[in-house]
Amino acid sequence: MAEQVTDVELTSAAGKQIAKILKNEPEGTILRIAVSGGGCSGFQYEYNLLQETAANDDLVLQSEGATVLIDRVSLQFLGGSKIDYVDDLVGQAFKIDNPNTVASCGCGNSFDMA
């Protein structure tokens, strides 16, 4: 069985934007990123602002003063990914570059895996 890739990168651009968003939230708020079934391609990314602490098996990412948590189950789908924030002609959005996907929808929030 292949070893599970559990590393996820949170770029500086994403960290800055998350920190900017969290400034307007109560102290102790974090961003939790998860994967759930649904969306037009089979799975979808969920972004939730929560006031909670990390569970023992969460992956904790920190950048530019922002904290992001990813649960163990979602990490199976996100291993090796890069979480970024893009601001281009099309618009502004968080983007997850996920090497595990085989297809995604036009908006990039829904994906399928082999």
CATH of the domain at 80: 2.60.300.12
Instruction: For residue 44, name the pLDDT band (cuts at 50, 70, 90).
Output: confident
Structural domain count of the chain? 1
Instruction: Compute the distance between CA of residue 84 and CA of residue 13 in angstroms, rounded to an integer.
Output: 6
Q: How confident is the model at residue 67 (pLDDT cuts 50, 70, 90)?
A: very high
Predicted TM-score (pTM) of the model is: 0.83
**Within a domain: 4:** no
Mean pLDDT computed over 14-20: 97
pLDDT at 41: 63
Domain extent for 100: 9-106
Q: Is residue 114 part of a domain?
A: no
Region 38-48: mean pLDDT is: 81
Helices (H), the chain: 12-22, 72-78
**Residue 72 vs residues 4, 16, 21, 36, 64: alpha-carbon distances, Å:** 11, 25, 25, 13, 23
Chain-centroid distance of CA 100 in Å reads 14
